[in-house]
Amino acid sequence: MAGKQMKLLLLVSVVISSLAVNVLTAPLPRAIKELSVRPPFLGLISAHSYKQATPFSDDGAFKPDPEHPYVDFSGRRFHIGTIGSNSVIIVGCGTGLVNAAATTQLLLDFFPIRAVIHFGTAGGADSSLSVGDVVIPMQFSQTGIWDWLKSEAAPQPDNGVADLEFRRYHIPIGGYNLLGRVAYMKEYFFSQTGEPDVPVRKFWFEASEDLLQIASTLEGIELDQCLNGVCLPKQPKLVLGVNGTTANFFVENAAYRDFLHSTFHVASIDMESAAVIMTSLSSGQQVIAIRGLANSAGAEGGEDSSESYDAIVAANVEKTVVALVNNIPSPRLGRICGKNRKCSA
Ligand SMILES: *[C@@H]1O[C@H](CO)[C@@H](O)[C@H](O)[C@H]1NC(C)=O
């Protein structure tokens, strides 16, 4: 009797433990395991989803992997393949910081990744740049963490970076505004090299120097002015060395755009870049972001043209991404190093 009970107990425990294993492994597609032993990929995170279409289909630069052309996972499609001699995984993250951070973390946790390249469109905040220009900022800030202060006279909080005083935007000037003032606060940055659970307060998140250096060789790249009969007002150019900013709101307001530019010296406004950069840096990954200015974030004179340039700008961004990927040495050559930079193997 005791022997039978033991056997039953053993059987039950085997069933339970195999269930536990199944729960952990079943949702992971087999492809993820098979891809995990491949040489590492460049992770390309687009701010827009590709739906069922093949990424980079306009210029055919992306060649899907014959064995695993894509992996569907966690509600996202990870396209597997090559651009030139580099293996890439391309995924669309969708709008906003949560989607961007979650997609980046999934990519880094489940695939072997050697660098992250993020790209999409943005609002332009610098009047010296034109709609259609493609920017590769050296750093991004997250300007969506606010301390909404009790009163206009409240002191600037610790870790506050700047203020937005609503009263300053009254027309006619003067009076008092019940919305008062908000202080822009630094992010809480956790990283694998830092002490666990001890975040560093940080406002700017820098793109990786080696990738920026490789990107600098793209200066002067020929971008298209027209696509399918839609032409940008000016010949677009690639601009490096600027700042970008990210928050969970779409800016279509000239006064706020000018505030962001004059306060934080930013040239582009978007809803994902800072999250992708912060998440990548947190895991010790090299990362860079490329954004095409599809509108002027509300500063357009006359009718709103924010929709019409999306396709041509997105095409120029993809062109820039492909050129960058083609300038990154393949993994056989080891770690990604910018020219004239000392890199340990
Ligand atoms: C970028 O931001 C930094 C820090 O605020 C500032 O010192 C620098 O001048 C900015 N760069 C540009 C090109 O505006």
Digit-coded pLDDT (tens) for 214-241: 999 999 999 999 999 999 999 999 999 9
The overall average pLDDT reported for the chain is 89
* 342 within some domain: no
Average of per-residue pLDDT across 77-100? 97
Q: Is residue 168 part of a domain?
A: no
CATH, residue 9: 3.40.50.1580
Which atom in ligand 1 lies closest to the alpha carbon of residue 264?
A: 5
In SS3 terms, the chain reads as CHHHHHHHHHHHHHHHHHHHHHHHHCCCCHHHHHHCCCCCEEEEEECCCCCCCCCCCCCCCEEECCCCCEEEECCEEEEEEEECCEEEEEEECCCCHHHHHHHHHHHHHHCCEEEEEEEEEEEECCCCCCCCCEEECCEEEECCCEEECCCCCCCCCCCEEEEEEHHHHCCCCCCCCCCCEEEEECEEECCCCCCCCCCEEECEEECCHHHHHHHHCCCCCCCCCEECCEECCCCCCEEECCEEEECCCCCCCHHHHHHHHHHHCCCEEECCHHHHHHHHHHCCCCEEEEEEEEECCCCCCCCCCCCCCHHHHHHHHHHHHHHHHHHCCCHHHCCCCCCCCCCCC
Q: Which of 265, 266, 268, 269 to mutate to test the pocket of ligand 1 (most atoms within 8 A of CB)?
A: 265
Residue nearest to atom 3 of ligand 1 (CA): 265
How many domains are there within the chain?
1
CA distance readout (Å), 121 to 76, 84, 124, 316: 20, 24, 9, 10
Distance between CA atoms of residues 104 and 43, nearest Å: 9
Instruction: Kindly report the pTM of this predicted structure.
Output: 0.89
Residue 310: its pLDDT value, please? 92
Contact present, 246 and 98 (Cβ < 8 Å): no
Residue 155 and residue 26: Cα distance in Å, rounded? 53
Per-residue pLDDT at 23 = 46
User: Is 338 among the domain residues?
Assistant: no
Residue nearest (by alpha carbon) to ligand 1 atom 1? 243
Q: Which residues pair with 63 in a beta bridge?
A: 82
Residue-wise pLDDT tens digits, 173-219: 988 899 999 999 999 999 999 999 999 999 999 999 999 999 999 99
Token pair for 120: 């999409």
In a domain, 177, yes or no: no
Residue 99 beta carbon below 6 angstroms from any ligand 1 atom: no
Q: Does the residue 256 lie in any domain? A: yes
| 94-127 pLDDT tens trace | 999 999 999 999 999 999 999 999 999 999 999 9
pLDDT tens-digit readout, 139-152:
999 999 999 998 88
Task: Name the residue with the closest Cα to ligand 1, atom 12.
Answer: 242
Domain that holds residue 254: 2-145+186-333
For residue 85, pLDDT over 80 is answered with: yes
| pLDDT of res. 344 | 47
Give the pLDDT confidence score for residue 343 in this predicted structure.
61
